[in-house]
Structures are given as C-alpha cells and as structure tokens.
Structure 1
Amino acid sequence: MRKRTYLPMILFVILLASLVGIYFILDYGIVGVEKSTEVSRIQSVNAPVKVHYMDIGQGDSIFMEVNGKNILIDAGEEEHAATIIEYLKTYDVEKLDLVFLTHPHEDHIGGMGDVLSAFEIGEFYAPDKDLVTRSFIRMTRALEEKNIPRKILKGGMEFAFGESVTLQILSPNRDSYLNPNNYSPIMRLVVGTNAFLFTGDAEELVENEVIRTGMQLKSDVLKSPHHGSKTSSSKAFLDKVDPAYIVVTSGLGNDHNLPSPEILERYESIGARTLLTEEMGSIVFAANGKEVIPLTN
C-alpha cells in the first residue's frame, strides 16, 4: 500500500502562515501595537496640534497632541480602558503629560484607573467633586501608587504650550452643583486663530454661566455637550461657539437614545457639519493656527 505524504500540505500551511505574518508586520507594525496605514498617515501630517475623539462607544475619551505634549480628557467606561490604552500606544504614547477628568460619571471615569497605571503621568486635574464608586477608588489608588496629586480644576485656569497655543478653562465657576454633569469643565484649546471647545457633560446651566463671563467661545470644532442630549446645546450657546464641526461621542443603539434627533436638527440649522463616532469611528483633526483640517473621512 502506497504511503500517504503530508509534506505538500505542511509546506502550503507554512507558506500561508508566512504570508499572513508578513501582511500583519507591514500593516500593523510590531506585534501587540497596531500601526495601521491610517495611523501612519495621520502621524505624517505636520501640525502643532492634533485632536483625537476616540471611538469607545457610549463614553468620552479625547487625546490631544499639543506641541509635543500628550493630553487626555476622560477615559470612558471600565470596559473601554484596553481600547484607549491600545489607541494611545499606536501613536507611540509613553507619557501623558496632562490628564483631565471632567466629572465622576462612569462613562468618563470608568477606565481612568487602568489608563493611569499604563503610562507615565505628568499632572492630573479634576473638578472638586467625588462619587465614591469602584471606578473612583481604582483611579484614586492608581494616583496614589504613582504619587501623583489630584489637582483641582477651576474656571479661570490656563495652560500654555508655546507661542499662540493655550488651553483655557472656562468652568466650573461655582463651588457646588446639584448635578455632577455640571462640574464638567468647558475647555477651549486655542491654536492661533483656530480653537477646539471641549464640554464633557456640561448642561445648559453651565453654558449660560460661561456665556455670562464674556469669555470668547468661538471655536472651529465643538465636542457636543452631554453626547447630544437635550439637556445641553442651547441655541444661545451654539450661536456663541459658531462651530464648523460638531463631534458627537456616542455608541450605536445606546440605552440613552443619544444623540437626540432634536439636537441633531439644531446642529444642522446652524450650518455645522455633525460627525458621530458611532458612524465614523475615531475622528481626528489637525490645526496649524490658520486652518483646522479633518484627518479622517
């Protein structure tokens, strides 16, 4: 009886595995850190500021590259931590120079403890509001383990990142609010004549407070307050911001039914282009001080 040989099949499997391996090395880079052609393309853009609105489902996490400094606002829910860490590592982040927590709700604080543990941290800021949850405890322990003080974030603060690049903290302007959402700082990143406005889950109450301060709000890109909820995005506020783009951080089919169709119509009525992470994935902009450039389709 003729002996069956499996050598050709074995050689075929080895060849196929080699080709797959080469593909992943070329397209994703070092094993464990995804380096796609899209990431390489975004990294190749020469601009002093890039802002990444990460797609993590129903939650906020925004990464900013500002004149060589790495800044993070929020870290989604606990289940989002691995996605955020992987995203940051694809952009070669080893240190987060500034980390901001807008407020202690789960879809903003949940992944913060793990993210803080994964990177070298410079400074950490949060409003003066605690909610003692498991996520809050994990975050506090991570800060203690790294001996990083929690600094209080208040309206009127400002961070400078070289000539013509500043991060202005416009709120909170009270010692206390009934709703934790309203501790969310409204922050304006100014890059020459460009600006980005970050809002956390701030509601109309805070929008009106910031309007009354008389501070400049005009911005090219607005992060939709409270994921496009009807609690926020008042007409008066939108008129002051007058954005060309509005980014909504939302998860497909989320339990809160956000963004609100009424708010999306309001965005359309002011002529802004509305971008949803649930439709587009992570959304990235570059700014050079003269123009804001969308880097994702």
Structure 2
Amino acid sequence: MAKRNWKRQKAAFKAKVKRRIRQAMGALAAVLLVSAGVITIGENQDWATPSWRQIYAEFGIGETVGIPSDAQGAQTKIHFIDVGQADATLLEQNGAFALVDAGTQDAQQDLLDYLHEAGVEELGYVIMTHPQSDHIGGMRAVLDEFPVEQVLLPDFDKAPVEWWPATEQLMACIGKQQNPAIVMTAGDTYTLGDATITVLLDGVESDNVNNISPILLFEAPGVRFLMEGDAEKQVERAALENGTDLRATLFKAGHHGSATSNTEEFVQAVHPRIAVVSCGENNSYGHPHEDVLETFRREGVQVFRTDLNGTVVAYVDEENVLRIAVTKSEEAEESSLTAVA
C-alpha cells in the first residue's frame, strides 16, 4: 500500500512539474512576444530601446555591424564606416573618439549601431566638413545619442549654403550643446588622446559649398592621415600654392573618389601608400571615377572602397605597422604596410 501511494505521489509530482513548466514557458513566450513587439516598434518610433542589431551583436548571433576582429585591440584606428553613398569617418586614439561627418539620415541607425559597437560612449569632437545631406544626415541623431565635447564647423561664409529645414534643425541642435561650436581655421590643432587633428586649410571662397570643406591631418603614432571632405580642385590647388605639407601615409579620396577632386598633382603631393574611397554600391554618380583610380594606380596607391570592402578600418599594430582590415571582401584578406615615420 505504501509503495502504491508513493508511486501515485511521484506521478502527481511529475504532472505538477510539467504543468508548471508549461505555464512558465507560456509566460516566457508571452514576455518574449511583447518584448519583440516593443523592440520593433521602438526602432520605428526612435524609442530609447536597443535595436535588433545591437541585441544580435550582444549575443554574437545574426547580422551585426561588424568591426574587423584584427583591428579591435589597436589603440589607433580610423574607421571608414560603410554608410552607402555618403561619408562618416570615426577617428579613435587611446579610447578617445572623433567623428568626421555622419552619413545620410537613412543610414543613421546603422551609424549609431556602429559607434556603439566600436565602444563609443562620448565623442571628443564631431566635425562637419560641409552641410550637405550625405555628410550631415545622421549628425543630429549622433548629438542626441552621445555626449559631445566640441562641435567643429566649416566657415559657412565662404560659399552659399542651402538652409533646408533639416539643416536648420541640426544647427539649432548644435546651438544647444554645452560648449559653443568652433569654426575651424587654418592652423588650428585639436588633441585626441595622443593624436592631433590639424586644420591645414579651411576651404576657399567659392560658389560651390563643397569647397568650404577643410583639409584635415590626423597624426598619431604610426600614421599620418589626410582627408578633405568634398573639397574639389580649387581647394587642392590652393593647398599646393600655399606650399602646405600634405604628405600622408593614408588618404581619404576627396568627394567620394570624384574626378572633380583627387588631381594628379595633389595625389603626388600627398604621396599616400593607401587611399580609401567612401561610396555606395552601384551609385548613380559613377564614384569612384576611373580617372581617379588610374591616378592611384600610376602612383602605386593601394585602394580600398566601402562599396566593395564594406567598412574599412585602418589601424596601427603593436609593432607600429599600419594595417587595413575590411568587413567585406571576396578575398577577405588583410593588407599591411609599414607606417612611414
């Protein structure tokens, strides 16, 4: 009798456990369903909820923004973020960050996700090269998302600027920053970790807003990196006539690799070992132009492109060697160059 009672008690206990498990699983499924709905709605409504991409990155599953693993431990990195037919470059040195341009509004969530994955908690500088939508579209979102120590602006007085509502809203947002924005002038130098950002030329007076783009030099142990926004031949000519020291190991091709920039004389003066082109896949502008690619070939410059290689990260390794890692490539091979001292 005692044995039968024990068996009945055991069976009842098992049944009770199964019921509790089913109830718990049902409750968990309901919680997950509600959470998924909140995350999805939050992405569409810009709520302060994590995105699916951030969640995937946290658990190492699904699609992530992707920072090349080879570059992750380096103190000095230059991230050419794949934001399509647009520009966004993240400078990183010893835990300090600066963002140069911010892509389009359509790509702003991808940009924010990438900045989070890169470890950005605050930005020392947000730098606007010029106020066009493919360079400032995501800038307001960046300013809302991260504390920013200083915003650096081009000289708007040097060319006509179209003040679209989105541009005016961005400028109003910049005006609310704790530190007043600074207009960059030639000779200015800004510190980022153990690196410096120097304004070599602050654009030129022109009827073309591209030409207010400054020429900037980022110098860190192991690398000299030159960038010129969408500056065109007029700006490049002015830099050459001024006798500006343009030499750099790494060069970001002007104006997405357009033939309106990247003149042979300018590229020769820069004398880069590597050039990176930020452009969208199959873009309607034909960037980068074949004339520019041919100039790079003649000068022995190795070219990486965000349309072909995804996000490109230049980094300096422990032996002071400048290396390139990419997130998308048919060969998926890393390139390395010895940095110029």
Aligned pair in 2 of structure 1 residues 265, 31: CA closer, same or farther (>3 Å)? closer
Residue equivalent to 2:325: 295
Q: Deviations over 1:113-143 (max 9, x none)?
A: 1111111111001112143112312212322
Amino acid at match of 1:294: I
Per the alignment, residue 181 of structure 1 pairs with 210
Q: Give the 3 Å change call, closer, same or farther, for CA 228–111 of structure 1 in structure 2.
A: same
1:76 CA drift (Å): 1.1
Aligned alpha-carbon RMSD (Å): 2.9
TM-score by length of 2: 0.73
Residue 183 of structure 2 corresponds to residue 155 of structure 1: no
2:169 is the alignment partner of 1:142: no
In the other structure, the counterpart of 1:194 is 223
Distance 1:33 1:122 in 2: 34
User: Which one of the candidate residues 260, 270, 280 is aligned to 1:241?
Assistant: 270
SS in 1 for 2:323: strand
The 10-residue stretch of structure 1 (81-90 or 252-261) with the greater mean CA deviation from structure 2: 252-261
Structure 1: which 5+ runs fail to align?
A: 1-6, 19-23
Of structures 1 and 2, the larger Rg is shown by 2
Is 2:105 the partner of 1:45?
A: no
Cα distance between partner residues in 2 of 1:60 and 1:25? 22
Greater shift after overlay, 275-284 or 146-155?
146-155
Inter-partner Cα distance in structure 1 for 2:250 and 2:151: 24
Structure 2 unaligned residues grouped into runs of 5+: 1-17, 33-52, 327-332, 334-341
- Cα distance in 2 for partners of 1:107, 1:143 equals 18
Counterpart CA distance in 2 for 1:26 and 1:156 is: 43
Q: Separation in 2 of the partners of 1:179 and 1:167?
A: 25
Residue 145 of structure 1 deviates from its aligned partner by 3.7
Measured at CA, do residues 169 and 25 of structure 1 come closer, stay the same or move farther in structure 2, by a change above 3 Å? closer
Distance 1:173 1:82 in 2: 30
1:83 corresponds, among 106, 110, 115, to 110
Q: Give 1:32 deviation, angstroms.
A: 11
Deviations 1:162-203 (CA, angstroms, capped at 9, x unpaired): 65x3211111254x3211101111111112452011110011
State the partner residue of 1:92.
119
Counterpart-to-counterpart distance in 2, 1:34 and 1:117: 25
**Matches of 1:25 and 1:209, distance apart in 2:** 44
Please name the residue that 1:172 is paired with: 202
SS at match of 1:79: coil
Deviation at 1:70, TM superposition (A): 0.8
Letter paired with 1:105: Q
Distance 1:87 1:151, change over 3 A: same
Q: What is the CA–CA distance in structure 1 between the aligned matches of 2:202 and 2:228, rounded to whole Å?
A: 11
- Structure 1 position 107 matched with structure 2 position 137: no
Name the % identity.
Answer: 28
